[in-house]
Amino acid sequence: MSIEKRVVAVIPVYNEADRIHDTVVSLKKISLINKIIVVDDGSNDGTVEKIKDLDIDIIILDKNYGKGHAIKVAIQAVDFDYLVLVDGDLGFSAIEISKLINPVIENKADFTIARFVNSKKGGFGLVKNLAKFGVYFFTGKMINTSLSGQRVYKKEVINDISYIPSNYGIEVAMTIGALNKGYKLLEVDVDMFHRETGRDLSGFIHRGKQFLDILFTLLVLLVRR
Domains of the chain and CATH, by start = 7-224 (3.90.550.10)
Long-range pairs, 105-109, Cβ under 8 A, ≥24: 105/1, 105/5, 105/7, 105/32, 108/186, 109/184, 109/185, 109/186
Strand blocks (E) in 6-117: 7-13, 35-40, 57-60, 82-85, 111-116
CB neighbour list of residue 161: distance below 8 Å, 6 or more residues apart: 173, 174, 177, 178, 181
Per-residue pLDDT of 128-183, as tens digits, reads 999 999 999 999 999 999 999 999 999 999 999 999 999 999 999 999 999 999 99
Provide the whole-model pTM: 0.92
**CB-facing half-sphere around the CA of 27: CA atoms within 13 A:** 33
188 — pLDDT class (breaks 50, 70, 90): very high
Mean pLDDT of the chain: 93
| DSSP-based helix, strand, coil % in the chain, nearest 5 | 40, 15, 40
